[in-house]
Structure 1
Amino acid sequence: MAINGKWRYEDLTWPEMNDAVEAGLIPVLPVGTMEQHGPHLPVKMDRWTATEVAKTAAEQHQDRLLLMPAVAYGYTTHVMDFPGSVTIHHETFIRYIVDILKSLAYHGFSRIIVINGHGSNIPPLDLACRRANLETDANVALASWWDLTVADPEFMKTWRESEIPGGCAHSGEAETSLALHLDKSLIQMDKALKEDIKFHEHSSPYHWVDLWSAGPVSVTSWTSEYTDSGICGDAVLATPE
């Protein structure tokens, strides 16, 4: 149940925190970053999308979930070649997340969910969640918002128009569609474009990327080495639906 009608962690008083623990509520922590998302999307995308997914879940399941304030900055060193990107050293980022999770566990929350919105956050977040699981009595689950869609096998069939792989890699059809759905006034679709990831031109069976699929070989370098605009995919096909 919501605590006195409240389902946001930051709105509770300290006595209400004890009530939330006793009720078995699960804190949901959105984690994003600030980085370029092409000429058409705002730099807040990864924090924004993770927060909105977590917020929607918490609002719909107030009897089970408690929305945490989002972590706005993450590990995005490889995108620092585009203005607006802000990165946190991976060790600092891991320690920061671990401290948040340990704090929640210390106060008695036994289950915690981390919702991620940025691909390069995944390795450090995985390590942070593992540490929290091993060093506290809490169970911490980690998921990136796009991975949650696999729970519905029909989801991809009903909306995707861009090519696989690559059409939904970064700032492409998927992220742009979600942004249009959330607040189309912030999206500059007149600047949206389709840009294929440069290394895809080699048609390697080992090295290719997309939000929902990736080749067995990963090579992460400066973003400007494989995109001129900051877009990896087809933003033109995006719709709010």
Structure 2
Amino acid sequence: MATTWLATVMLVAAIVLRGIAAGRTPWSNMYEFTLVGAATALIVFLLLNLRRDLRFLGTFVTGIAALFVVLALNVFYVPATGLFPALQSYWLVIHVGIAVGSAGIFTVSFVLSCLQLLRDSQQHGTRALSGRGWGWLNHLPEPAALEGLSFRLNAIGFIGWTFTLIGGAIWAEDAWGRYWGWDPKEVWTFVIWVIYAAYLHARMTRGWAGRRSAYLVLVGYTCVIFNFTVVNLIINGKHSYSGLTTG
């Protein structure tokens, strides 16, 4: 845990120094998105541990964060430069910052849902999880406890994603003269919002507890990753500047 705290402080310091070097907010391209998303996931994990013992998440959260940092450095890295005119707005701080922060929260809830599914399968005697290598699952909380924490995190992330959607529409009207234009990034941001809204609604009103709710979380997070990678890097649109260069 001490090493994780140290690594998180160093990562946050790196992000701050990146912003100072570029003379702007440090989240305007894939390299910076990935670093900030990793830092947010680590911060969420560490803050949660201040209230309860969730060290069992550490291997998975820090593993994902390490993977993000490796990808950022080896695949997405670009020098610190200026911004496209469309990005030179205070909405960059609000819209993009909240979006990446929400993605970090969704990352931790994704880990919780994966562990929930594994723990539930083990309790129901799934043969593939009965071997000696899966004994660590016995030390995890009950599936219901994992699901409850994942639900609360997803509720917080959903609020942030709602502000992301609204802020993006306001920024689009200011930059391009329309609130909505069916740009691929806009569409997928809305798709993610719908999936998490359906998850929260189904769990609270339809009794979709257990494995079904966890599967919805996995689908939602898959769409988040798709939105931050494929949509940014491959699909052409007005958000193409979110890729490898800032201009």
TM over 0.5: no
Q: What TM-score, normalized to structure 1?
A: 0.33
Report the TM-score, using the length of structure 2 for normalisation.
Answer: 0.32
